[in-house]
Structure 1
Amino acid sequence: MAPVISPAGDLVTQQLYARDAAQTLNPSDEQKITLYIIGAYIVGILILWNLPFVKVILSPFKLLTVGLHEFSHAIVGLCTCARIISIEIDPDEGGLTKMRGGNPYLTLPAGYLGSSLIGAIMIFCGFNILASKIASIFLGVVLLVVLFYARNWLTRGIGVLFIGFLIFLWWLQGGKGLKYFVLFMG
């Protein structure tokens, strides 16, 4: 015979699970600081994005985002047997990935989807120094691929600038600054 579970016992179990979840889902002090920094990033970016002369501060980061966007086109193009001719980033925050072959139905949306996915992964990695180091290695490899296909000096300059910045942050305070950079880029 199967055991009989009383409704009262089920209610007690639910309350225990709710209490346990409430205790285990509290963020640590370091996670709280990271969440506050995310809020500060959001406010800072919103202010800088909309001020006419100060928005130039965000330009290198916007150009890096364009590079990630174009990389996403290129990597999906390579996966669909395209031949990548070049990757270019324009100073007006635009970009171009020239390729031959491949599946245009997959490569066209890949820029937005890929850069969004990379950004989401970087946000998740921004809560841990080790995860940030792994994300920075990935970002460095992406930038090296973009450098390989780069055909203009702006693309090369942005790639070299951010690879150098990643290397600098890697060694600064054991990678703590890298954590906040990865979080910002996400």
Structure 2
Amino acid sequence: MAPAPLPPDSSSSWLADIAQRSASATAQLHARALTVNDTQKVTLGVIAAYIVGIAILWNLPYIRWVLWPFKMLVIAFHEFGHALACVLTGGKVKSIELDPREGGVTHMLGGRNVITLPAGYLGSSLIGALLTFCGFNIVASKVASIVVGVCFLLTLWWGRKDWLTVGTILLAVGLLVGCWFIAHAEALRYVILFIGVMSSLYSVWDICDDLILRKVNSSDASVFAKRYGGSSQCWGVIWSIISLLFMVAGIIAGIAAFPQTSDQQKTDSENFIPTKF
């Protein structure tokens, strides 16, 4: 007499069902991450316009002064990167100074130079990438502005003896606060996006300007090369590539994380620290 057929393995069936659901969820996640909706297309268009506009203004005599307030702001990010790296590696920050012609300088005691030297360019690039990421969404831009405000307060403490540093930071804080009250902070999103793009690209343009075009020997990259080998141009190119990768990662992450339409973003913003002018 033939043996009765064995009942199907319920555990195997359950595992197969789980695997199928996981594969479906993964496929949906990939589809979502690679799909760009109309609101995101507008954001990408704005980013492209920012890149072209900043590149043109950056290289035009006299007209480049239009970017001066934002350039000073990005330099503040650069110096904040030096200062934070110094503190995190056991050093002490004496002061921060901004200069409209020479850029900025952070006076430090101690810290690990192998980290603090590249932290200016790479730190400002990372901040730029995070701001670009947040610039895809109004609520995220609100959160970003709060975090940036805290960073500004730290920079203000370190640079309190320099009037240009104090003035630049206070104007930046005033701009961010003012944008909170325009159409439930919709304007804030585009300001955060602009600052993010400029901060991401500042390191690239500044490195090219200093090391490739003008060949200035007093940059972070030249000091790094003297202490740890290689050439300043080599380190400048490496840091520029990393900065661009940060920016691309911020854009891709923004597309994947914030699929909300413009109307959905406004509704969400009305429920998150609501403000309207």
TM (norm. structure 1) is 0.85
* Cα deviation 1:120-151 (Å, max 9, x = unaligned): 11111110011111111111111111111112
* Distance (whole Å) between structure 1 residues aligned to residue 107 and residue 28 of structure 2: 56
Residue type matched to 1:138 in 2? V
Q: Which residue of 1 aligns with 2:85?
A: 76
Alignment identity in percent? Answer: 51
* Cα deviation 1:90-147 (Å, max 9, x = unaligned): 1215111111111122111111111110011111111001111111111111111111
Structure 1 residues 149 and 18 mapped into 2: Cα distance closer, same or farther (>3 Å)? closer
* Distance (whole Å) between structure 2 residues aligned to residue 98 and residue 55 of structure 1: 28
Which structure 1 residue ranges, 5 or more long, are not aligned?
A: 1-16
When the two chains are superposed, the root-mean-square deviation of aligned CA atoms in Å is 2.1
Q: Which residue of 2 aligns with 1:170?
A: 180
Structure 1 residues 24 and 90 mapped into 2: Cα distance closer, same or farther (>3 Å)? closer
Residue type matched to 1:177 in 2? A
Deviation at 1:19, TM superposition (A): 10
Alignment of 1:24-103 (within 5 A): 25-103=34-112
Residue type matched to 2:151 in 1? V
Counterpart of 1:172 in 2: which secondary structure?
A: coil
Residue type matched to 1:79 in 2? L
* Distance (whole Å) between structure 2 residues aligned to residue 24 and residue 100 of structure 1: 45
Which structure 2 residue ranges, 5 or more long, are not aligned?
A: 1-25, 197-277
Q: Which residue of 2 aligns with 1:4?
A: none
Matched positions, count? 172
Q: Which residue of 1 aligns with 2:193?
A: 183
Which structure would you say has the larger Rg? 2
* Distance (whole Å) between structure 1 residues aligned to residue 90 and residue 83 of structure 2: 10
* Cα deviation 1:60-86 (Å, max 9, x = unaligned): 111111100100111111111211110
Alignment of 1:145-164 (within 5 A): 145-150=154-159, 151-164=161-174
Deviation at 1:26, TM superposition (A): 2.6
Structure 1 stretches of at least 4 aligned residues deviating more than 4 Å after TM superposition: 17-24
* Distance (whole Å) between structure 1 residues aligned to residue 123 and residue 97 of structure 2: 17
* Distance (whole Å) between structure 2 residues aligned to residue 19 and residue 171 of structure 1: 37
Deviation at 1:25, TM superposition (A): 3.1
TM (norm. structure 2) is 0.58
